[in-house]
Structure 1
Amino acid sequence: MSVVTSPTPPRSSSSDTLKALRYRFSAKLFLSELLAKNWMEPIVPFTLMLALLGYFAATVPGYLSVDNLQQMLNLFAEIGLVSIAMGFVMISGGIDLSVGAIFAVTNLAALIMFKIFGWPVPVAAVCTLLLGAGLGAVNGWLVGYLKARPFLTTLVTLIILRAVFDMVSGRYATDFATSDVESPVWDFLGAGRILGVPTNAVALLLVIVIGHIYLSRSRWGWHITAVGSSRKAARHAGIRVERVLFGAYVLSGVLCALAGLFYAARQNSAGSDTGQGWEMQALTAVVLGGISLAGGRGTVFRACLGAIIVFLLINGFVRLGLEGYLTLSALGLVLLVAVGVDVKWAKNRGKAIQKIYVNPTWLKLPPTPSIARGSDSPFAENDRLSHAEPIGLGQVEGPEDVILDRQDRLYTGTREGWILRFSGPKFEHREIFARIGGRPLGMAFDREENLIVCSGGMGVYGVRPDGEVFKVTDETNRTWGKLNDDSRLRLADDLDIAPDGKIYFSEATIRYEMHSWDMDGIEGRGNGRMICFDPATGQTRTIIKNQRFPNGVCVTHDGQSVLYCSTWLCKVFRYWIAGPRKGQVETFTDNLPGYADNINRASDGGYWLALAGIRSPAYDLAMRNPDFRLRMVKEIPRDEWLYPGLNNGCIVKLDAHGKPVESLWDPSGALHPAVTSMREHRGWLYIGGLENNRIGRVRLEGADPDWTGQDSYWGKPSDQNGRGEN
């Protein structure tokens, strides 16, 4: 299915074209989307890492040579593993000061099992990892199940394990030096290479990849982050907090043991300073990489990034010949500055994005058609909606769309995320038909009488006749090369169903959420799109991009095309889905006096169109002045911003060719201040509104009293028994 970017714009002067181009492409727009990416959070430590690499490459001869890089990778792998071990524990909301001691003890155990006992390398490796898991389990049991404080608990574990290491290592030091046990597998672990990369560095890379998948794509990883964010909330969500904490410390122990195993194979000895101070290096690394001390925030990549910085600092200063105390002092100073800048960036990143995220563009609309009362304009103001009969008065909040089924029951979505159903001769009986969640917006019945619903913030969902809710789709194909991941559906707005069962629906904006949709009006950009879901294949594809707040959707009476409204452009487009013009977009109705919302079929072959608000000269002028709107957003309180006039209710009747023929008004806005939808059904017009506390209906003179939307789409049922009467 081809993708249409946008319909042909109307003709304009050269100056207008230059203005449109000037505001269409914005460096701030690109920067705001760039800063909003999660991988931009550790930008400060990443920049520091590049600066260190550049500095040492310029001052240390041969620093970036292949041999030196291989050697540095060999030296870095173990501290990288220990830092990742610390990272997992800190993300869970704890801390493990014993990582250096566990590393040292497991390193010693691996040497004893291989060098002294002569065990095969695979057996020694497995036992080393099990020992690390056991030591981590002790910490996990104390912290997770006995509720001991992580800092004091792991500090005590550090002291005990360090004492054990000192006692045992002194006893076997001579035996390690005189042992003649050899193994090519052991040598491969310590000095081997895979495609030129040291074995321990390959293992580190695998741990990074697997750890990232585990933390970001698995339920267990999500639980670790959830527990770190709030143990109370995690427990209320059904997460077994104690088990998660226990598992985090076990995982930490295993990673430290893996580092100890490689270190043992590489060094073939255990000095008294093995692992000494590594817990502080690991702690500094993860904090510098952006893992929160409070828990709940961080990634494996950030832990490794921080470890690289610490390693580069220590290794580079040693290569420059600095004394030990100078190295530590310089390390502390650099880390202090970097952490301070990183903390400041973390606090203000959101504010920086907020200041540059809104990027108004230039939009010029043609002169507003006349709405003068008593004129011969089809938009002439009248009072035809002022006496609409109320349904569910005070029993419904924000019925954005309304629809009726074959049994003449009335459905609508509410602000609470419910689908309400009204039935009875006067719709006096109200019931909750389904609880979908999100913000139910546009609705349509399919051939099997399932109610298909666009839910803002969630996607497209369905409700079976028995009230069972099911998901239709919540994502579409991503636009490659676009910084903002637009695969997730943010604001699915309205939909309709073609004769072949395909669901065509609009997504009003991909830059704003349901609670901030009005910001899209201030911006005025083509942030929306039209999407198609094919139930036969289960695929969802974007078919038209770069639309200005696409809203109402309606399949034409002949099933050959789809009409969709552009709210901010005040017009209706036609997208052909069949016939010789398939895939083309053309204007169906242009220059409306208000902001087009939902559009639906009428019994005479035409269409009903809701205008959610009426254009004003002040707002039209503001749309031609993007700089004014930007200053307004930055300098004026939100409740004083200039908005489109959303305080008049209006419905426009279009003929089969898109020509306006009549309109229905509630100019006072007392009953229907913002009409967003309407449905014709058996000679009545039912009215919904995003801000209303009722559903209205008015009698349509001369309309077919037997016409229903269901029959128009899917034909008359074979059995008409049980039809209710209103």
Structure 2
Amino acid sequence: MSVSETVTRWRYRIVPDHVLGELLAKRWIDNAIPVLILLVVIATFGSAIPDFFTAASVGNLARQWGEFGLLVLALMIVMVGGGIDLSVGSTFALGNIVALALMNVAGLPVPAVVIGTLLCGAAVGLVNGVLVGYLRLRAFLTTLVTLIIVRAVVDMLLLTYSVRIAAVFPDSDAWFFLGEGYFLGIPLSVIVTGVIAILLHLVLSRTRVGWHVMATGGSRRSAYNVGIPVRRVICTTYIVSGTLSALAGLLFASRLGGAGADTGIGLEIAALTAAVLGGNSLGGGRGSAAKAVIGSITVMLMVNSLVRLGITSGANSLLLGFVLLLAVAIDVRWLKNRHKLLSEVYVSPTYAALPPPPGMGEGLPYALNDRLRPVERIGLDRIDGPEDVILDDADNIYTGNRTGDIVRFLAPDYARQEVYVHIGGRPLGLAFARNGSLICCVGGMGLYAVRPDRSIEKLTDETNRSLFSVIDDSRLRLADDLDIAPDGRIFFSEATIRYEMHDWPVDCLESRGNGRIICFDPNTGTTRTVLKNLVFPNGICMTHDGRSFLFAETWGARVSRYYFDGPRAGTVEPVIPDLPGFPDNINRASDGTYWLALVGMRTPSLDLALRMPGFRKRMARRTAPDEWLYPNINTGCIVRFDEAGTILETLWDFGGENHPMITSMREHKGHLYIGGIFNNRIGRLRLDGADATWTGTRSYWGDA
């Protein structure tokens, strides 16, 4: 290895290039710019204003924020649903005057005042919701008209009740507690806003209602097509907005005890600025309570600090206008360019040198031949993508297809087939358990069991999360192949934690070691990762002694052995370190050896490119994905080897005329059954001299 290649190897081993892409892929990265702006605002005004961080100053700001934060949350929930509500300031003023009238003039008890005020705000929201949601009027114009009408109602109520309100001083501790009280040293309004923010976060991120709101905001037509009641969802967001705006007015009324003609004027602009500045999208479908909280704190600090610095109110409005313009520009540009930036930096190749490939000339272990030419074709054009195949003791064939079914071909002639179960995701690795259940790795879903009565049970779809992982690697993205230990533990491979099922070849471009092997123990119901940083781990096969298993690393072109029991438990040893192609599934052979599928063959160009991460990175950024250098998976073969890694025989279909791609094979009663993820048939090849009574299930479980 040259000096430059050694430097390249260590540079890509030490520097985690993939972290930037993983950070940009996180949903919370949207909060990075708003948080940065908030920190700048705190630092700027904290240094410019004396006593900015005193307890009295912070307490006063917090109480004001409690009321303003409710308005921003109200606007946020409408924006997430794809709308806009310009009437929040007027509804705030209406809540203020109604609360004072009910308390000071009508003399109602505090609970009745609270309920009456909230109902008043909900009524305004209902009007907006019906007009925008059910009658499909433009949200901007509709809520602008509502703003004018509600403001006129507030002015009329002021003319009628302002004198009587000012003449009464209510004697109620509960009333004053709403506006001026503390709980555990925290202003009540802050607690109320915080609790509502948490509830909204949980609703939007953890409930069906929240998913409906997000989907409606993202695309109303698509949401309608999948059965979401779009009109009702939109109407509900406006009702919630009106209720929260009235609640803010109630807290304001309790704190100041007065009403004026200027109450709530301009609050809709401040609330809109805060919502957008926090990262809530004007286009809908993207937002959160956390973003609303961040934006509201930032705007509240800016406005309050300018007042304390003696800046005129006109300057405040000017600043809010500039900030709103900046926030809208950031929102539009970020939304437009985030995925473009992510696509350029997410694919992060690393240095991955493979050992020289073995020769395939005449007389060598991998010598080319045509032994797969006489393969019989089962289910030709009646199956799409049988990645793995397995047989039961009645000789029926089970395999998955591209549409999420496990299909059964019925013995003895396999002319008839049926959908055994519809499992939903892409069925990949298959294995029979001792109790007859068919255990299946499902791409994008996890590990599932199909019971003998055809009921489906999810075994696991997550594992323990890595301590320093940026992405949430507890979720299973691409469970691939599996095998079962004598005690029932299921060991299965997850090929990559960075790419989904449809992008699995891109993992080869990285060759970073994104895969792992996981153990699910049905006796305890626990799942844990046993091996990490593997280069697309794929096939798994228990050795005949039941104390270790063989596993293939596809892009690493090698087969290794992991001991999970016995004195060598926890250790890995190489078995075949230098395959000529990319290994896939491994399964037992009747004579105590093992079958291995090579899904494709190595090429000099890709072997060279794997040692040139800079070249692969430029390729990923500058050319279209359909022009990237991919592994050759058009021609494969089947290899038989022993536990020492000695190649005993190879079976080729030279030229790929009969079985162009091979991802799996199973020996069963003297025949070899062959599958391929891009094939349209299952192959069957008679094995001369093989045990005609041997089956895989009896090899594992005897006659159980």
- Structure 1 length as normaliser, TM-score? 0.93
Aligned partner of 2:606 in structure 1 is: 619
Give the deviation of 1:704 after TM superposition: 0.6
Amino acid at match of 1:602: A
Per the alignment, do residues 628 and 232 of structure 1 end up closer, same or farther by CA in structure 2, a change over 3 Å counting?
Answer: closer
Matched, 1:47 2:36: yes
Partners of 1:45 and 1:338 within 8 A in 2 = no
8 Å Cα contact 2:636-2:662 kept in structure 1? yes
Deviation at 1:82, TM superposition (A): 0.8
Counterparts of 2:224 and 2:629, CA distance in 1: 45
Superposed CA deviations along residues 615-669 of structure 1, whole A, max 9, x for unmatched, are 2233222212211222222334433333323222211101244322111111211
Choose the corresponding residue for 1:249, options 229, 238, 242: 238
Range that drifts further, 191-200 or 497-506 = 191-200
Q: Aligned partners of 1:326 and 1:641: how far apart in 2?
A: 55
**Amino acid of the residue matched to residue 525 of structure 1?**
R
* SS at 1:329 equivalent: helix
Whether the 8 Å CA contact 1:495–1:506 is kept in 2: the answer is yes
Residue 651 of structure 2 aligns to a residue whose secondary structure is strand
Distance of 1:183 and 1:13 partners within structure 2 = 84
Distance (Å, rounded) in 1 between the aligned partners of 2:612 and 2:525: 43
How far did residue 549 of structure 1 move? 0.6
* Alpha-carbon distance, 1:292 to partner: 2.5
**Does the 8 Å contact 1:597/1:609 carry over to 2?**
yes
Aligned length: 704
Quote the residue 1:260 is aligned against. Answer: 249
CA offsets 1:565-616 (integer angstroms, 9 cap, x no match): 1112211122222222222222233222211110001111111011111222
Return the offset for 1:371. 1.3
Aligned to 2:208: 219
Distance 2:642 2:134 in 1: 71
Please point out which of 650, 659, 669 is paired with 2:656. Answer: 669
Distance in structure 2 (CA, Å) of the matches to 1:479 and 1:28: 18
Shift of 1:202: 1.7
SS at match of 2:324: helix
Q: How does 1:163-312 map to 2 (within 5 A)?
A: 163-312=152-301
Distance 2:373 2:636 in 1: 9
Partner of 1:9: none
Distance 1:637 1:331, change over 3 A: closer
Query: Secondary structure of the equivalent of 1:613?
Result: strand
1:508 aligns with 2:472: no
- Paired position in structure 2 for 1:538: 525
Q: Residue 561 of structure 2 aligns with which residue? A: 574
Deviation at 1:67, TM superposition (A): 2.0
Partner residue of 1:6?
A: none
Deviation string for 1:67-86 (max 9, x for gaps)? Answer: 21221111122111011111
Report the residue type matching 2:618 in the other structure: R
Stretch moving more, 168-177 or 599-608: 168-177
- The match for 1:520 is 507
CA contact (8 A) 2:400 2:428 kept: yes
Report which stretch shifted further, 38-47 or 634-643.
Answer: 634-643
Which AA in structure 1 matches 2:403?
E
Partner residue, 2:695: 708
Structure 2 residue aligned with 1:556, among 534, 543, 547?
Answer: 543
- The answer to whether the 8 A contact 1:28-1:359 is kept is yes
2-structure distance, mates of 1:235, 1:448: 44
The change in CA–CA distance for 1:227 and 1:645 in structure 2 (over 3 A counts) is closer
* TM alignment of 1:489-500, pairs within 5 A: 489-500=476-487
What amino acid does structure 1 have at the position aligned with 2:248?
Answer: A
* More deviation, 138-147/248-257: 138-147
Task: Measure, in 2, the Cα distance between the counterparts of 1:119 and 1:28.
Answer: 65
Deviations 1:416-466 (CA, angstroms, capped at 9, x unpaired): 222222123321112222222332211111122222221212222232334
Query: 1:720: which partner in 2?
Result: none
Alignment-derived partner of residue 647 in structure 2: 660
1:152, CA displacement in angstroms?
3.5
Does the aligned pair in 2 maintain the 1:490–1:510 contact within 8 Å? Answer: yes
Matched with 2:552 is 565
Equivalent residue letter for 1:60: I
**Partner Cα separation in structure 2 for residue 279 and residue 267 of structure 1:** 20
Contact persistence 2:601–2:633 (CA under 8 A): yes
- Verify the 8 A CA contact 1:441 1:456 in the aligned structure 2: yes
Match for residue 341 of structure 2?
352
Query: Within the alignment, does 1:641 sit opposite 2:661 as a pair?
Result: no
Aligned equivalent of 2:463: 476
**Tell me, which stretches of 5 or more residues in structure 2 are unaligned?**
none
Between the aligned partners of 1:641 and 1:154, the Cα distance in structure 2 is 51
Aligned to 1:692: 679
Please state how far the C-alpha of 1:16 moved relative to its aligned partner. Answer: 6.4
From 605, 618, 621, the counterpart of 2:592: 605
2:17 is paired with a residue of what secondary structure?
helix
Deviations along 1:381-422, one digit per CA (max 9) or x if unpaired, are 211112211111122222111111121111211222222221
Matching of residue 72 in structure 1 with residue 61 in structure 2: yes
Quick one: distance in 2 between partners of 1:430 and 1:383?
30
User: Which stretch shifts more, 135-144 or 37-46?
Assistant: 135-144
Residue aligning to 2:581 = 594
State the alpha-carbon separation in 2 of the partners of residues 106 and 43 from structure 1. 34
Partners of 2:622 and 2:92 in 1: CA distance: 56
Structure 1 residue 63 displacement after superposition: 1.9
Distance 2:45 2:51 in 1: 10
**Kept after mapping to 1: 8 A contact 2:276/2:327:** no
Deviation at 1:711, TM superposition (A): 0.9
Aligned to 1:328: 317
Q: Offset at 1:296?
A: 1.7
Letter in 2 for 1:318: V
Among candidates 113, 128, 134, match of residue 117 of structure 2: 128
Q: How far did 1:327 drift?
A: 2.4
- State whether residues 394 and 411 of structure 2, in contact with CA within 8 Å, keep that contact through their aligned partners in structure 1: no
| Deviation at residue 486 of structure 1 after TM alignment | 0.8
Tell whether the 8 Å contact from 1:26 to 1:359 is kept in structure 2 after alignment.
no
Aligned to 1:84: 73
User: 1:532 and 1:640 mapped to 2: Cα distance?
Assistant: 37
1:27-75 CA-to-partner distances (Å, cap 9, x unmatched) read 5322211121111124333322222222112222222333212211111
2:140 partner letter = F
1: distance between equivalents of 2:15 and 2:128? Answer: 52
Q: Give aligned-pair identity as a percent.
A: 53
What is the CA-CA distance between 1:684 and the residue it aligns to? 0.2
Alignment-mate amino acid for residue 151 of structure 1: F
Choose 550-559 or 520-529, whichever is displaced more. Answer: 550-559
Q: Do the aligned partners of 2:273 and 2:320 also contact (CA within 8 Å) in 1?
A: no
